Amino acid sequence: MKKYCITLLIFCFLPGFHEASAQAKRIVTLGSAISETVHALGYGKQMVATDVTSVWPEEINRLPKVSRNRSFSVEAITAFRPDLVLVPEGDFSKENLYQFKSLGIRVIPIRQEFSVEGASRFIRKIATAIGDKARGEQLAQQTEKRINNTLSQLRKGNKIPKVLFIYARGVGTMHVAGKGSSIDAIIKLAGGKNAIQEFSDFKPYTTEALIKSNPDIILMFDFGLKSLGGKDAFLNLPGVAYTNAGKNKRIVEMNGPLLINFSNRLPEAIKALNNQIL
């Protein structure tokens, strides 16, 4: 009995013991997929603030925002007295992490992988950080089942359409998605082919690249298309009329947070995009 008590005391004073065992009560979430996952796990009431990209569901959109244009302020976050901050991997500098640690605030960077398996790992990682592995396992398994059901029921066409994704914030800020991006992955899962294969991630949009890729479909976030003046205005941009997408007026707009979720809403994203491109 004495030996057991000594062992227990040793574990209790190990760094991270209490953090790992206690459930978070005041959570700040930075990133739409993180926020949506925490809410889906049933911890919406524990969320005290989010970032500007976290807009769904409406309960999350109504929460205070601690960022402006994806720029985070340590002071703005700590003002909400969180006991857990969940942030996309790489978004905080080493200095930021040190500041939070010195204040006794636990920060867990979350890596997002753009795959079916990655969505499950993402859910489990967040649930573990909150302190509820059981609920995370349940949601991960439910999501996996729904993804598999969705993939088995996708519409299929005579050919695989080439899809070009353009991220826009007005005509002056336009980028296209290459290999390895979240958009590249969701296009493939939905039954399409990314029209850009020459480079990875995102690069600035050019008329020459648009014409060369000659997509069958041009995909944009709804807010991006709106920033360009809508579908008719986009069709009149230089070079668009020379593509198959322009000739057939195949300009598809979708909700941004849904399209890049790669978590519990991945089944809905796959189905919605598949319905639009096939």
Q: What percent of the chain has pLDDT over 90?
A: 86
Instruction: Please determine, for residue 13, whether its predicted confidence score (pLDDT) is greater than 60.
Output: no
Residues 93 and 211 in one domain: no
Q: Cα(110)–Cα(125) distance, rounded to whole angstroms? A: 7
Residues 215 and 244 in one domain: yes
pLDDT at residue 248, rounded to an integer: 98
pLDDT at residue 264, rounded to an integer: 97
- Note whether 140 and 169 are within 8 A (CB): no
Which of 111, 129, 150 finishes a domain? 150
**Strands of the chain, DSSP E:** 27-29, 47-50, 67-68, 71-72, 84-88, 106-110, 162-168, 174-177, 193-194, 202-204, 217-221, 251-254
Asked whether residue 239 is domain-assigned, the answer is yes
Residues 17 and 136 in one domain: yes
Residues 191 and 129 in one domain: no
Instruction: Note the pTM of the prediction, 2 decimals.
Output: 0.89
Q: Which domain holds residue 181?
A: 162-277
**Assigned token pair, 25:** 């009560």
pLDDT at residue 4, rounded to an integer: 37
Residues 129 and 203 in one domain: no
Asked whether residue 15 is domain-assigned, the answer is yes
Is it true that the peptide bond before 204 is cis, omega within 30 degrees of 0?
A: no
pLDDT tens figures, 214-272: 999 999 999 999 999 999 999 999 999 999 999 999 999 999 999 999 999 999 999 99
Residues 218 and 248 in one domain: yes
pLDDT at residue 207, rounded to an integer: 94
Instruction: Please determine, for residue 5, whether its predicted confidence score (pLDDT) is greater than 70.
Output: no
pLDDT tens figures, 83-103: 999 999 999 999 999 999 999
Which of 92, 118, 150 finishes a domain? 150
Asked whether residue 155 is domain-assigned, the answer is no
What CATH number is associated with residue 48?
3.40.50.1980
Q: What pLDDT band is residue 106 in, cutting at 50, 70 and 90?
A: very high
Asked whether residue 264 is domain-assigned, the answer is yes
Asked whether residue 157 is domain-assigned, the answer is no
Residues 144 and 170 in one domain: no
Residues 23 and 64 in one domain: yes
Residues 143 and 185 in one domain: no
pLDDT at residue 147, rounded to an integer: 98
Which of 127, 150, 173 finishes a domain? 150
Q: Of 40, 46, 55, 106, give the one whose Cα is nearest residue 78.
A: 106
Q: Domain total for the chain? A: 2
Asked whether residue 2 is domain-assigned, the answer is no
Asked whether residue 5 is domain-assigned, the answer is no
pLDDT tens figures, 14-69: 444 344 447 899 999 999 999 999 999 999 999 999 999 999 999 999 999 998 77
Residues 56 and 94 in one domain: yes
Residues 240 and 137 in one domain: no
Residues 122 and 230 in one domain: no
